[in-house]
Structure 1
Amino acid sequence: MISLSDKVADSPMDFSFSFSSSPLSQYYHLFFTLLAFLISGLIFLLTRKAKSKKPNLPPGPPGWPIVGNLFQVVRSGKPFFQYVTELQAEYGPIFTLKMGTRTLVVLTDPKLVHKALIENGAVFASRPRENPTRNIFSSNKFTVNAAVFGPEWRSLRRNMVQNMLSSTRLKEFRGVRTRAMDRFIERLRAEAKAEDGVVWVLKNARFAVFCILVTMCFGIEMDEKTVEKMDQLMKSILITLDPRIDDFLPILSPFFSKERKQALKIRAEQIDFIFPFIEQRKRALDNPGSDNSATSFSYLDTLFDLKVEGRDSPPSKEELVTLCSEFLNGGTDTTGTAIEWGIGQLIANPAIQDKIYEEIRSVIGHGNDRKIDEKDVEKMPYLEAVVKELLRKHPPTPFSLTHAVTEATTLAGYDIPTDVNVDIFVSGISNDPKIWSDPEKFDPTRFLAGGEGDVASGEIKMMPFGVGRRICPGLNMATVHIHLMLARMVQEFEWSAYPPGTELDFTGKVEFTVVMKNTLRAVIKRRV
């Protein structure tokens, strides 16, 4: 979550003072003694007042003054989700972590999540405050994911879901996905030919998804060099947004002026690079037939004259760049990561890979060499079970996006103030042995009819895309991409480990999403 050097983490600040025995120093000594007495008295009075108003938060590990549990997390040397897993065993399904000036309330139980996000969805539907200097990439929270609960968020989400991500609208981009999949397969073939049959999985999967999203967003198909440049820019933004110590201890912000300048520089590069494509699309809409657009409709088209509740003007130049960037970033890493874990599991479980291939052949016919398409995928229940198990075992992120309450409330008998972060431990739920039998095993059959994953409506046993009012708006699009990509990859190639015969390491690490610790390379063999 945060990375600090051992030197910073292990070296306490020395605030000791020493005085000589001169008369002048004795006055100083008296002055500072009186000052310390006054400060101590003030702290005592403030503490008594604070204690009288102290909320009844869920239990949690004792922390240090000012920093709370922050340095305990850092010094543990463990990924934050692993640290939370251990706390869950000790403190139960709801607990508190003090992280500097931020207070985190962590939920690890699906019934509590249902109570909060479904039964009291409107109350738990907002987002927490952030360090203002970190809001430049969200145009002060002017995005679907970051906006606080209210009319602005409703306008942005309604526009994205109804005008871009509905089932009907997604079908209109079927041709875009087909062309991108063809390019994807050709890239894998070319790389395998040049590298003795070995390919990088995540890199190629990310690029394929990004190509789809760029076309959906701007209505134009870009050459590979331009797409790669835009993809690198999006990655640099995500790296810039990695948590820093001053996010939790704002008093340290003056020490991060260099990082703030770098963020402003990247923001300027983002606007300078993306806005010309926005202008190009605007010219095409104003002058039909003047531009060789790839699609007749794009997400950007819905934004030019977007009416946002509470505002008199459409989105600004900077806000258009922000909304387009959100669309691109939101669907790229999550899908690419899922494909990497998915192919890893198919390599580790060749019988599952064979079964998917058999299902593909049964759907398109053994004598038919056509490429499998989205209509075929809809007839593949085993592939659907594999994808569900993939999302259970390897949710894109260990936590859902942080929630905040719109008004002070209670949950499980504890107070939930408006200034706390409510974090849902997604991977803790989907890998909980009290919820799932043998959760460490990758077993798609649990999601076939009658299996333990075939749950009653409304019951929560996994939530890779969140639940409730802030559920990921791109849920349908992401699952379409994952199903189609896995089907095409298995239809075209037989996947095996690299180096041959090695056992895959399924340890994860957080890089915006949870990726494989050892980036997956695989041997592919073209199917006859």
Structure 2
Amino acid sequence: MEMELVSFLGVMLATALLVVTALRRKRGSTRNHKLPPGPRPWPVIGNLNLIGSLPHRSIHALSARYGPFMSLRFGSVPVVVGSSVDAARFFLKTNDASFIDRPKMASGKHTAYDYSDIVWSPYGAYWRQARKLWKAHLFSDRHLRSQEHVRSEELRALLRDLRALSSAGVVALKEHLLMLSLNVISRMALGGKYVGEGTAGSPISPAEFRWMVDELFLLNGVFCVGDFIPWLSWLDLQGYVGRMKRLGKMFDRFLEHVVDEHSQRRRREGDKFVAADMVDLLLELADDPKLEVPIKRDGVKGFALDLIAGATDSSAVTIEWAMSELLRKPEVLAKATEELDSVIGHGRLVTEQDIPNLPYLEAIVKETMRLHPVTPLLAPRLSREDASTGSYDIPAGTLVFVNVWAIGRDPAVWGGDAEEFRPERFVGSGVDVKGQDLELLPFGSGRRMCPGYVLGLKMVQVTLANLLHAFAWRLPDGVAPEKLSMQEKFGLAVPRLVPLEAVAVPRLLAHLYAGP
């Protein structure tokens, strides 16, 4: 990102004199506000030159200098970043209603059906209605329980495939985790597998779909210059908007295929039709004349995209980071295996009902989410009205980021070993990931919290438990634990830069790997 910014810095500075007067007038409108401290912005680009290829780290470094409430300017857009528990409480709890809106960014327009999904839709009747429908129907406890057999069957298929590969040497784990998540959410949300084995007439291949999901998370996390300097948007200097448009068309081709198949079944079965999956539910809800705001076809596709992409990538990324940390800490891995052997034994696999009886496994998941939150900078919020911390003012129209990556490494919260992977800190602590404990916010908090967190947490916990129970894991020959790279790759989610490879040795009875 730094090289991209430098490449067009000259173009923007050449035009700076033409707009400096206008910028001064704009700043004059906030002169009566006492903003949080921050670095002085440049003309035109503001502080974009200070944001590197890993923005959460760049912003953390700046916050260490300017404080947990920090002002920045991205182009012409005022920005405030919160990097402490108190800041998170201010934005996500105390003043949640003031910061509940979303900015209209290019990614939401071109990859989310013009802000028709639940992530990027602006605050209003449409979003409030969508949130209620998601909680009451798509992610209700009853619906999740009814689909537990799907998650169990696909998990057993993963273990079967990994056992078959174990004799060949190293396993590229994330690829298999992605397919597990995709198969689970495809069956739960779409009623069947639309990518990979047993999919007739699917418009995309598994490799193409994996690329599309990676591209979606990258493009929904980048800092697109046109979002912050609107008069430069037509140039698409970074090429991001062109990529967004291309990706949007690819997903639309896939989702049109899915929605068409579901609509045809509804017409074919007529009065005998019974909703069997989440897309069926969405289509039924879209036909409800009592809805406050109609859900159009693009809304159905936008919600389906949230379900598929969000559930596919986030779980796989978290499990891969957990396995990476465990392979770097053999003593923690041994302790987790010992707990599983004691509670589960060697005669069966781990079920979702076992998780409350595995406190160390739960602690490993929390510790992973602390150090490697899937979205280190929570999706940006937009202030709907002026607000004040008591010390600082945040004017209406300010873009707000909460740096949960920085909060997860705050020594004031976690002590002097905040950078260390130590699950013991969560054993018996009572700190949870459900949005109430603001020191640990992998799914966010408040009304904009991830609505699918219950499913995501189930998938991470039970998958990781079975990987550790069914296999003995080690790094490939010649790779020392302390030398395992932990470099990141940025996007809306932050996966490993280099996919994890490991050796898996089966440790249970052969018939348990038979698959569904």
Alignment match, 1:30 = none
* C-alpha deviation, 1:262, in angstroms: 5.1
Alignment match, 2:28 = 51
Structure 1 Cα separation of the partners of residues 457 and 268 of structure 2: 35
Contact kept in structure 1, 2:432 and 2:440, CA below 8 Å: no
Matched, 1:85 2:60: yes
Structure 2 Cα separation of the partners of residues 259 and 432 of structure 1: 33
Q: Name which of structure 1's ranges 214-223 and 343-352 shifts more when overlaid on structure 2.
A: 214-223
Instruction: Output the TM-score relative to the length of structure 1.
Output: 0.84
Contact kept in structure 1, 2:359 and 2:427, CA below 8 Å: yes
Instruction: Output the TM-score relative to the length of structure 2.
Output: 0.86
* C-alpha deviation, 1:48, in angstroms: 6.5
* C-alpha deviation, 1:347, in angstroms: 0.9
**After superposition, what is the alpha-carbon deviation per residue over 1:344-392, rounded to whole angstroms, capped at 9, x for unaligned?**
11111122222222222222334x2x22211222321111111111111
Q: Residue 43 and residue 243 in structure 1: after superposition, are their counterparts in 2 closer, same or farther (change >3 A)?
A: closer
Contact kept in structure 1, 2:60 and 2:406, CA below 8 Å: yes
Helix, strand or coil: the match of 2:101?
A: coil
Equivalences for residues 123-522 of structure 1 within 5 A: 123-131=98-106, 135-193=109-167, 196-222=168-194, 224=196, 226=202, 228=206, 229-241=208-220, 242-256=222-236, 260=241, 263-288=244-269, 297-306=276-285, 314-366=294-346, 368=347, 370-437=348-415, 438-449=417-428, 451=429, 453=431, 458-502=436-480, 503-522=483-502
Equivalences for residues 38-77 of structure 1 within 5 A: 43=21, 47=24, 51=28, 53-54=30-31, 55-73=33-51, 77=52
* C-alpha deviation, 1:501, in angstroms: 4.0
Q: Residue 252 and residue 328 in structure 1: after superposition, are their counterparts in 2 closer, same or farther (change >3 A)?
A: same
- Percent identity between matched residues is 26
Paired AA for residue 376 in structure 1: D
Helix, strand or coil: the match of 1:66?
A: coil
The count of corresponding residues between Structure 1 and Structure 2 is 494
Gaps of 5+ in 1: 17-35
Contact kept in structure 1, 2:13 and 2:43, CA below 8 Å: no
**After superposition, what is the alpha-carbon deviation per residue over 1:479-505, rounded to whole angstroms, capped at 9, x for unaligned?**
100011111111111111124442312
Q: Residue 454 and residue 480 in structure 1: after superposition, are their counterparts in 2 closer, same or farther (change >3 A)?
A: closer
Alignment match, 2:511 = none
* C-alpha deviation, 1:311, in angstroms: 6.8
Structure 1 Cα separation of the partners of residues 243 and 372 of structure 2: 33
Q: Residue 152 and residue 299 in structure 1: after superposition, are their counterparts in 2 closer, same or farther (change >3 A)?
A: same
**After superposition, what is the alpha-carbon deviation per residue over 1:451-473, rounded to whole angstroms, capped at 9, x for unaligned?**
48589995421211111111111
Alignment match, 1:107 = 82
How big is the alpha-carbon RMSD for the aligned residues of Structure 1 and Structure 2?
3.3
Gaps of 5+ in 2: 509-516
* C-alpha deviation, 1:47, in angstroms: 4.2
Contact kept in structure 2, 1:304 and 1:314, CA below 8 Å: no
Paired AA for residue 233 in structure 1: M
* C-alpha deviation, 1:43, in angstroms: 3.7
Alignment match, 1:95 = 70
Give the greater-gyration-radius structure (CA): 1
Paired AA for residue 4 in structure 1: E
Q: Name which of structure 1's ranges 465-474 and 4-13 shifts more when overlaid on structure 2.
A: 4-13
* C-alpha deviation, 1:208, in angstroms: 0.8
Structure 2 Cα separation of the partners of residues 511 and 14 of structure 1: 30
**Higher normalized contact order (CA 8 Å, seq sep 6+, divided by chain length):** 2
Structure 1 Cα separation of the partners of residues 26 and 297 of structure 2: 47
Paired AA for residue 177 in structure 1: R
Q: Name which of structure 1's ranges 174-183 and 371-380 shifts more when overlaid on structure 2.
A: 371-380
